[in-house]
């Protein structure tokens, strides 16, 4: 019987850089080369200046907790023995409103606070699939 994995990302030409970066434990976000604006999800155009010159740029991995939920029900077999888990959206320090979806790991429920500083915590969830998760950072 094969191992059970979470839903896995299926990269496309526009998103391959993101997952390749994760495999190398580098969090990269597409950035406009004309005006410096970060664009996530990956799109072929900058929604600020309409430049089509965008390139991946590594970000610091420092962020703040924007929103979260403790999920108590397994919507996929992978999570049956992992409940509860913390699904979250974090805001990267590089740009107001620049957010990615993630999991918060190794933080007790009572210690979760909207706005708290968090930092990257890489997790390999399947062979060659590394996800950018986050954990509590020192303020």
Partner 1 sequence: MASNNRVAAVGVGYSTTGRKTGLTSRQLAVQAATAAMRDAGMTPKDIDGATMLWAVAGDAPPGLDVVDSMDIAFMLGIGPLNFWNSGAGPAYIGPAVQAVSAIKSGLCHTVLSMRVIRQRLTGAEMLAKDTDTHRVYAEDDFQFVAPFGSISPLQAIASMPAQRHMDLYGTTEEHFGRHVVAQREWASHNPDAIFRTPLTLDDYFASRYISKPVRLLDCDYPVDSASAIIYTTEERARDFAKKPVFAESTAFSSVKYLTFENLDDIIENSPDHCARNLWARTDLKPKDVDCVQLYDGFTIIVFQWLEALGFCGRGEAGPFIAEGHTAMGGRLPLNTDGGACNVGRRHGANFCIESIRQLRGGESGVRQVPDAKVALWANAVGSFSGAMLMTAE
DSSP state of 122: E
- Binding stretches for partner 1 (CB under 8 A): 2, 5-12, 15, 18, 40-41, 66-73, 75-76, 78-79, 84-85, 87-89, 97, 99-103, 113-115, 125-126, 129, 131, 133
What is the SS3 string spanning 59-117?
Answer: CCCEEEEEEEEEECCCCCHHHCCCCCEEEEEEEECCCCCCEEEEEECCCCHHHCCCCCE
For 5, 58, 98, the CA distances from 71, given in Å and listed in that order, are 17, 30, 24
Instruction: Choose between 8 and 45: whose C-beta lies nearer to partner 1.
Output: 8
Residue 114 dihedral angles phi and psi, to the nearest 5°: -55, 130
Contact status, residue 117 vs residue 137, Cβ threshold 8 Å: yes
User: To the nearest whole angstrom, how small is the minimum distance from the Cβ of residue 31 to partner 1?
Assistant: 16
Q: How far is the CB of 66 from partner 1 (least distance, A)?
A: 7
CB of 60 to partner 1, least distance (A): 19
CB 101 → partner 1: shortest distance, Å?
A: 4
- Tell me the β-bridge partners of 69: 87
Minimum distance, C-beta of residue 49 to partner 1, in the bound complex (Å): 18
């Amino acid at each position: 019987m094969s191992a059970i994995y979470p839903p896995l990302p299926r990269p496309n030409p526009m998103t391959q850089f993101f997952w390749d970066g994760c495999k190398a434990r580098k969090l990269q976000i597409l950035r406009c080369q004309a005006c410096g604006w970060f664009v996530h999800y990956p799109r072929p155009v900058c929604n600020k200046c309409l430049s089509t010159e965008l390139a991946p740029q590594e970000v610091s991995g420092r962020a703040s907790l924007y929103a979260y939920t403790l999920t108590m029900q397994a919507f996929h077999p992978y999570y049956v023995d992992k409940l509860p888990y913390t699904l979250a959206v974090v805001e990267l320090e590089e740009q107001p409103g620049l957010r990615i979806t993630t999991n918060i790991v190794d933080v007790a429920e009572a210690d979760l606070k909207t706005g708290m500083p968090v930092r990257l915590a890489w997790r390999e969830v399947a062979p060659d699939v590394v996800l950018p998760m986050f954990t509590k950072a020192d303020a």
